[in-house]
Structure 1
Amino acid sequence: METSKIWTNDAFSGVELLSASYTKFEFSKHWHDELAIGIIEEGAEGLLYRGNNLLVPKKHIVAINPAEVHTGFSGTENGWRYRMFYFDLSALAEQFKTRGLPIDPIINRPVIYDEDLFTVLLNLHLALEHASFALTKESLFTLALEMLFTSYGSAKLEAPNPIDMKSSYEARDFINDNFDSNPSLADLERLSNCSRFQLIKHFNLLFGVTPHQYLLLVKVQKAKLFLAQGMSCVDVSLACGFYDQSHFNRNFKRAFGVSPSNYL
């Protein structure tokens, strides 16, 4: 079965997203004005790129630089299922300008095997498809581009600095006090006076989770407490700032292994 879906998300301008599954379909020769980054979820994609036939298997990342002519076709009998990001170059420049780095949107290899980056890209794509908190989308977006460009592009890793404990604790306390109003990464950035990536990195080193993961942990812990006090699932979902009941159910079960109604 061949399916495809393309969309944008209001959280980020200049980023187009595709989720597709193809068996017999073949792309003719074409190029993108954007930087195209994809993740192969199942099967394998064949790729004619710079005169070479390449195979991009499951759990691998495909990177097509702007204006590069290429094709795409099935690399297995059963086809391939994948997700793509198309990053407008101005959107990339905007993301990195706070670091003072010139961004040449060239990725140095078309096929990448990097489990950590694959996971971040997959989680980002899913967050931009389904209901997700602003902090989740912004954090994953920052992490994904930072990891991609520092490992396989033109951006260089910043020299390691001591953990900024003060800013990390301020961010943690702000999340604790405002978990129900869904603080954004921009809120934490202003509060801590750190760059987004520095804040995420230092917070993770100090607490073992990123800010968006911590926000979800606080929400489900509060939800568990409210349920134990006799509040209904609907009231708890609203009180904890979840988007809707399904969003609440999904995250609660992921944390505790049972649905809120079963726990109640």
Structure 2
Amino acid sequence: MEKSKIWTNETFKGVELLSASYTKFEFTKHWHEELAIGVIEEGAEGLYYRGKNLVIPKHHIVAINPSEVHTGFAGSPSGWRYRMFYFNLEELNNQFANRDIPIDPIIDSPIIYDEYLFKILLQLHMSLEESSFKLTKESLFTLSIETLFKQYGGAKKETIHTICTKSSYLARDFIQDNFEYNPSLSELETISNCSKFQLIKSFKAIFGITPHQYLLLTKVKHAKSLLSKGLSCVETSLACGFYDQSHFTRNFKKAYGISPSNYLNRIS
């Protein structure tokens, strides 16, 4: 089945997103002004790139540098399902200026196998399609860009990241005190006086989870407490600052293995 969806998300300027599934469709020769980074979810994508036919299998990352002529076609009988980012490099440079991240348009290889990078790119793409907190989107975006360019970019740069203990505790306390209105990563950076990437790494080293995971855990724990006091699912969702009922239900079930409505019925 041939299907595709393309969109932008207001959280980040200069990023276009594509989610598609193709079986027989083939792209003609073309190029992008942007850096194209994608994750292959199912099947395999065939790619004619730099004079060679390549196959990018499931759970691999495809990287196409700006202005490079290429095609795209099914690399397996079942075709391929994938998600693509098209990054405007000027906007990326603006967002990561003075962050010690060497934004460079050249990615070393068109095929990358990196389980960690694949996972966070996939989570980022999905967060820009579904209802997600700004802290979640910003954290995944920062981690993805940092890992991509420092590990696979043409301008690799080694950076030593120290553990920001005090900053991590400041960020944790701020999340606890303000979880209802969904603090952003930029706010945490300001109050903790620690760069976004350093804060994420330090926070996880100290508490075992990232700031956006801590925010979700704080919300669902508070939600469980409110439900046990007799508040309805709608009242609880609003009180905890979830975007909508589906967002609340999805995250509550991930934490407790049961939907909030079923939990409410069991304790009633």
TM-score category by the smaller chain? Answer: over 0.9
* Structure 2: distance between partners of 1:103 and 1:256: 40
Query: Where does structure 2 lack aligned partners over 5 or more consecutive residues?
Result: none
> Aligned residues: percent identity?
70
Which residue in the other structure is 2:159 paired with?
158
Query: Where does structure 1 lack aligned partners over 5 or more consecutive residues?
Result: none
Q: Is 1:170 equivalent to 2:136 in the alignment?
A: no
2:189–2:199 Cα contact (<8 Å) kept: yes
Q: For 1:64-84, what per-residue CA distance to the aligned partner results, in whole angstroms no more than 9, with x for missing partners?
A: 000000000000111000000
2:102–2:157 Cα contact (<8 Å) kept: no
Q: Is 1:188 equivalent to 2:188 in the alignment?
A: yes
Q: For 1:32-55, what per-residue CA distance to the aligned partner results, in whole angstroms no more than 9, with x for missing partners?
A: 000000000000000000001100
- Listed as ranges, the matches of 1:245-264 within 5 Å are 245-264=245-264
Q: Is 1:202 equivalent to 2:202 in the alignment?
A: yes
Which residue in the other structure is 1:143 paired with?
143
1:36–1:86 Cα contact (<8 Å) kept: yes
Shift of 1:2: 0.5
Which residue in the other structure is 1:215 paired with?
215
Which secondary structure does the structure 1 equivalent of 2:82 belong to?
strand
Q: For 1:123-180, what per-residue CA distance to the aligned partner results, in whole angstroms no more than 9, with x for missing partners?
A: 000000011000000000000000101110124231142x111100000000000000
* Structure 2: distance between partners of 1:144 and 1:75: 26
* Structure 1: distance between partners of 2:259 and 2:100: 46
Name the aligned partner's letter for residue 31 of structure 2: W
Which secondary structure does the structure 2 equivalent of 1:242 belong to?
coil
Q: How many residues align?
A: 263
Question: Could you tell me the TM-score, scaled by structure 2's length?
Answer: 0.96
Q: 1:102 to 1:80 in 2, by over 3 A?
A: closer
Which residue in the other structure is 1:236 paired with?
236
* Structure 1: distance between partners of 2:262 and 2:102: 52
Q: For 1:173-223, what per-residue CA distance to the aligned partner results, in whole angstroms no more than 9, with x for missing partners?
A: 000000001000011011011111011111111111110010000000000
Which residue in the other structure is 2:25 paired with?
25
* Structure 2: distance between partners of 1:155 and 1:185: 25
